[in-house]
Amino acid sequence: MRILGIDPALSITGYGVVDLNRGSLKIAEAGIISTSGSQELVKRLLKIYRGVEKLILDTKPDVLVLEKIYAHYRHPTTAYILGQARGVICLLCAQRNIPLVEYAATRVKKAVVGKGLAPKYQVQRMVMHTFNLKSMPRYTDVSDALALAITHSNILKSKI
């Protein structure tokens, strides 16, 4: 099974494509789609749309995994902006008939680290450990996307 985890954001959208085969996980591809703050919003959303569309066409995932939206009450604009980036990704899932799965951040941390309130660096370290990486991915967005894919794979394995 090929799992595409995406950590959407307007500036840097991280992604990780993971293959689950007989209980083992391997990274097929990982990286970012970045946009410039100097561009107008619609151009940035179009760049995310086209980047994820190309990723879907190139990697042919069986499922796409996103983190559920969480917004702190002090930063409502963050949810609004994040929602727009997520919206174009959800649209692509519908257009390409790819199942979409969402997990809360605490669920991801629990699945990857074992504690729902684990700090970000622990998640990064477990992503490194899971894939035997020699160094941490340059962008935390990539680690977060890979953690989403790990979470989904763990849930699939537990159902077998």
Q: Which of 7, 29, 40, 53 is catalytic?
A: 7
Residue with tokens 């796409």: 64
The token duo for 72 is 């702190």
Q: What pTM did the predictor assign?
A: 0.94
What confidence category does residue 66 fall into, taking pLDDT thresholds of 50, 70 and 90?
Answer: very high
How confident is the model over 108-117, as pLDDT tens digits?
999 999 999 9
Number of domains in the chain: 1
Exactly one of 58, 102, 141, 144 is catalytic; name it. 141
Q: Which pLDDT score, from 0 to 100, does residue 72 have? A: 67
Could you tell me the pLDDT band of residue 157, with boundaries at 50, 70 and 90? confident
In this prediction, residue 160 carries a pLDDT of 59
CB neighbours (10 Å) of residue 1?
12
For residue 74, pLDDT over 80 is answered with no
* Active-site annotation holds for 7: yes
Residue 80 clears pLDDT 90, i.e. is over it: no
Q: What is the DSSP string of 45-108?
A: HHHHHHHHHHHHHHH--SEEEEEPP---TT-HHHHHHHHHHHHHHHHHHHHHT--EEEE-HHHH
Expressed as residue numbers, the domain containing 142 is 2-159
141 carries an active-site annotation: yes
Average pLDDT of the chain, as a whole number: 93
Average pLDDT over residues 58-78: 86
The mean pLDDT of 114-140, rounded to a whole number, is 93
CATH of the domain at 69: 3.30.420.10
Mean pLDDT over 89-96 rounds to 97
- Rounded mean pLDDT, 47-75: 91
Q: State the pLDDT at residue 82.
A: 84
What pLDDT is recorded for position 81? Answer: 81
Which pLDDT band holds residue 86 (cuts at 50, 70, 90)? very high
Chain segment 134-143, per-residue pLDDT in tens = 998 899 999 9
Cα–Cα distance measured from residue 62 to residue 23, given in angstroms and rounded to the nearest whole number: 16
Q: Residue 56 half-sphere exposure, CB side, CA atoms within 13 Å?
A: 24
